[in-house]
Amino acid sequence: MTEGLKKLNSSMMIKSVQLLRTNNKTSSSWLILGILSSTLLAVMFSETMLLPAIPEIMKDFNIPYNTAIWVFSAYLIVAAVMTPISGRLSDIYGKKKVLLTLLLLYTAGIIAGGFTTNISALLISRIVQGVGLAAVPVAFSILRDVFPVEKLSIAIGVFSSAYSAGSVLGLLFGASIIQSIGWHATFFFNSSCSSNCNNNNSNICTIKKTTTTIKRKH
């Protein structure tokens, strides 16, 4: 009888520990989702905020439209090229390190963009931002690691919704800022948002076992 009670108590303790670990992993997963979603929202907010500035950029730098369009084209081309490269770097050096490095590059590109005085300097800053945009697929990969299969679709849905929300907010606020202060101010405003995102993403590194892959049900 005593031996049976000991086995029962031991079994209950093991189940309690497993339940506690599961709850901790779930809480950490949602926290990471919130951090990464806010980062994507800030990135898209930054990009669409610059869109209404194209006419002002053309006027200030005295350039034609087919030159001004490279402000976005160069950024997107570099981001597309960097996507598979960032994936490979994540496998080698770790996803969290690569994510933070790319976000730092993105922030540096935004800050540099605010001080540009010619189209060449602006394009270089946009290229640097394009390299940093490769952080987005790395963030997707982190979500796959921290969420189980049955909750992964919800996580990706929430993360993707930040894309649309950031785009809408960027257009609304960008036009007002450009009209009131000027297009350089969009970069300075975005640099503060990006810095806050970097601070938030650095917290991912302090969450215990956040990138440990959860066993998926087959």
Instruction: Write the pLDDT tens digit of every residue in 77-120.
Output: 999 999 999 989 998 998 888 988 998 898 899 889 889 999 99
Note whether residue 13 is domain-resident. no
Residue 179: count of CB within 10 angstroms of its CB: 11
Note whether residue 18 is domain-resident. no
Note whether residue 17 is domain-resident. no
pLDDT tops 80 at residue 216: no
Note whether residue 38 is domain-resident. yes
Single-letter amino acid, residue 125: S
What CA–CA distances, in Å, run from 10 to 3, 17, 95, 125? Answer: 11, 11, 38, 60
pLDDT tops 80 at residue 137: yes
- Give the N- to C-terminal CA distance of the chain in Å, as an integer: 39
CATH number, domain containing residue 55: 1.20.1250.20
Closest C-alpha among 188, 194, 195 to residue 50: 188
Question: Mean pLDDT across the stretch 124-131?
Answer: 94
Going by pLDDT thresholds of 50, 70 and 90, the confidence category of residue 27 is low
Note whether residue 6 is domain-resident. no
Who wins on pLDDT, 148 or 74? 74
Note whether residue 85 is domain-resident. yes
Residues 142, 148, 154: CA angle, nearest 5 degrees? 80
Note whether residue 212 is domain-resident. no
Question: Mean pLDDT across the stretch 47-67?
Answer: 89
The pTM of the full predicted model, rounded to 2 decimals, is 0.76
Note whether residue 5 is domain-resident. no
Tally of domains in the chain: 1
Give the domain range for residue 150.
28-206
